[in-house]
Amino acid sequence: METQERKPAVSIIMAAYNRSNVLKYAVASVVRSTFADWELLVIGDACTDDTAEVVASFNDARIRFVNLEKNIGEQSGPNNEGFRLAKGRYIAYLNQDDLWFPDHLEKSLRNIRETNADWVFSLGITSVNGTKCFLQGVCPDGVYDPLYRCGVSASLWLVKREILQELGGWRFYRKIRIVPSQDLLIRAWRSGKRICVTPSVTAIIIQSGSRVHAYAKRDFKENARYYERMCSEPGFRETEMLNAAFQREADTMRRRLSFRYVFRDLVAVFCARIGLVFGILPLELLFLLRYPNKGKFIDFLRKQRGLPLNK
């Protein structure tokens, strides 16, 4: 008798490339989830390190590693392959250097079902460079609105499968000016999808792009430290939320007292309003002005991370 193919509630897609020493903490944070009906698809972008062995060490039938034969150079390829293989009703993403709190899936699923949204995202404590952090995902009125120039990491998303199918997945970075994750989110918003905020902090976002040569040096100590605190320190989440709030307030006060920042903000608001007249969102305008050629921002990030530029 043939066994029925398992179809979990959530398919988690993790794009991976040669940072097995941080990926193991990301995978471990998934295994600690309070919601257990998931599959994790770790898609290697032609990894050449020991990522396959690290994934296998978890010895969990819900976790699968697939390594692409050809390196794409950014997340669009691995994420699209992950979606092709996914069997879940809902799709979640987790970047290999980020961490979920155990209740991330539980709270995200509850919110998407209660609000009947097409797409939800939670709040994340984002570590910029190991010394500063901020709260990511805050949007007025509890719904996504790119008019406020709010970027939202894919590690915070939970999406209905059919929405990604309709949108056609992630676009290759050389075909767009902004990062592929925000391009996908904006396309969903422009097509009228209901995108709501899950009002809980459920992840730690550790931005590799703000850490010089993070890939070349294979930095991992910060990831390890956050994971260990997440597992062992009572009140860790609340402590980091307060740190983010204090730093945001301090930055706001400094900006109020600095003519340079006030002038820059006024110019930014003026440019944003001009852009909107032509249907260009603030985030799109920012990338257009700084990186006018398609794909150049990802090229900058690759150089920053210590990776060679794609040919």
Backbone torsions φ then ψ of 85, nearest 5 degrees: -90, -15
- For residue 118, being part of any structural domain is answered with yes
CATH number where 168 lies: 3.90.550.10
pLDDT tens, per residue, the chain with 311 residues: 344 677 999 999 999 999 999 999 999 999 999 999 999 999 999 999 999 999 999 999 999 999 999 999 999 999 999 999 999 999 999 999 999 999 999 999 999 999 999 999 999 999 887 677 889 998 888 999 888 767 899 999 999 999 999 999 999 999 998 999 999 999 999 999 999 999 999 999 998 877 877 888 888 999 999 999 999 999 999 999 998 888 877 777 776 666 666 666 666 666 666 776 677 888 888 888 888 888 888 887 888 888 877 76
Domain assignment present for 117:
yes
How many independent structural domains does the chain possess? 1
What does residue 282 show for φ and ψ, rounded to 5 degrees?
A: -55, -45
Cα gap 218→268, rounded to integer Å: 36
Look at residue 46 and tell me if it is in a domain: yes
Distance CA 236, CA 241 (A): 9
Residue 174 lies in a domain: yes
CB atoms within 10 A of CB 279: 8
In this structure, is residue 292 part of a structural domain? Answer: no
Domain that holds residue 103: 10-250
218 domain-assigned = yes
Query: Does residue 278 belong to any structural domain of this protein?
Result: no
Q: Is residue 297 part of a domain?
A: no
